[in-house]
A = this chain, B = another copy of it.
């Protein structure tokens, strides 16, 4: 920058202004500065130095609970982040991805402390993930998505319990009594098998607990006690990984006539397993998913599921980010609604 200034015969401040505050110098001088910069091969202010001077990095740290391929195998994440990114992009912010370390349910604390970001967005991390403590230690503003509220941070979530309740009510109203629950990872060391009610209620993940509670409460109200509800934990996070547990659930005698699945991915796995066992969906087995990811619409059969407005959630998170960055005070925790979408994977018992 000094070189450019010398070349034009002005001060460094003027060169800086040419880039950052065009109104501070005459248009023609600005032109001249830019031309000299180009000639010298100066591509504009060094971003790091600028950040140091302005104490703004222009990056938003996104904390994930797993590695990237697992995290993004859930379309819910890409849709949410896309909406978030669309909101913050015009303000010049980009997303810095911090994948989980595979153990703590979030990125390593050290990663947080050395990440260059103005704010952190935590997406469905495990309760008590060390990354969250690190965010606080560092004094970084925080927005949490689908997690319990943390004092001093903004939160956006989904009406998970109500959505799950609606799914369960739907099956009950169709006359189902033998209903199984196909759960996402609950145990810290997932074993992919049948879960006790206590285990099912103690997941490290907030949305998991909420959905489970929504299912079980509603079934109990309908006279189906939790003890009579087989609950199986998925053996893996992908459709393929979930298949063994799906078979396990469908091998039970008496076989459930309907399945409440904690995600559409699990529902697709259940349908695939059912098909391989020669069961028709929804003839022999009704299946309800959760999330309404795009494939749910064109799966065979199209999936009855609980839809959450992922874009709205992402946009809301984006607005929270911008607000906190502007120094506005932390708003009260918010929720987007969840609604049942009935398609063709459920039928009367």
A residues bordering B, Cβ < 8 Å?
41, 43-44, 47-52, 55, 57-59, 67-73, 75, 77-79, 81-83, 85-86, 89, 92, 94-99, 111, 113-116, 134, 137-139, 238-240, 243, 272, 275, 294-295, 297-298, 300
Contacts and interface: CB of A to CB of B under 8 A. Distances in A.
Task: Kindly report how many copies of this chain are found in the complex they form together.
Answer: 2
A294 B68 contact: no
Tell me whether chain A's interface is mostly helix, strand or loop, or mixed: helix
A275 B301 CA distance: 12
Contact of A58 (B114, B137, B239, B297): B114
B55 A48 contact: yes
Contact of A300 (B78, B86, B97, B300): B300
B82 A294 contact: no
Nearest to A70: B82
B44 A113 contact: yes
A47 B114 contact: yes
B58 A85 contact: no
Contacts of A113: 43-44, 47
Contacts of A51: 48, 51, 116
A57 B46 CA distance: 12
A87 B204 CA distance: 28
A76 to B, nearest CB: 10
Given A52-B49, A82-B68, A139 B295 contact: no
A134 B38 CA distance: 12
A43 B239 contact: no
A16 B237 CA distance: 42
A137 B43 CA distance: 6
B78 A72 contact: yes
B89 A78 contact: no
B94 A95 contact: no
Nearest to A118: B48
A67 B86 contact: yes
